[in-house]
Amino acid sequence: MSLSDAEYHARAHALLARIETQIDAWLESDVVDIDTHRTGGLLELSLPGGSKIVINTQPPLQEIWLAARSGGYHFRWDGAQWVDREGQEFLARLSRSTSEQAGKALTFSA
């Protein structure tokens, strides 16, 4: 499904904001210490142990990219959610990758 540029930017911005809000809540509740650094459409998560996860918007392709220890993933809007070619939903993949790298179960919810 193709989005207008404005729709893509709004959905991508909302997704990055949701991730930052969840991490802030974990920090306030002392669940896990994840530092975030955002520059435009790039969000870098620094996890315990020194590993990183990078989430990057790709406006020309209308994709969201996720780079983690487990690999690199590309997600497109399917009309309801961000999914990769195998049908994996973005927040589910991010939850799995973050849990693996932080060493504790963490879930990003929609």
For 13-61, the pLDDT digits (tens) are 999 999 999 999 999 998 999 999 999 999 999 998 899 999 999 999 9
pTM comes to 0.93
Residue 34 CB neighbour total at 10 angstroms = 20
Class in CATH terms, 5-102: alpha beta
Strand ordering across the sheet containing 52-58: 35-39, 42-46, 52-58, 63-68, 71-77, 82-83
> What are the domain boundaries of the chain?
5-102
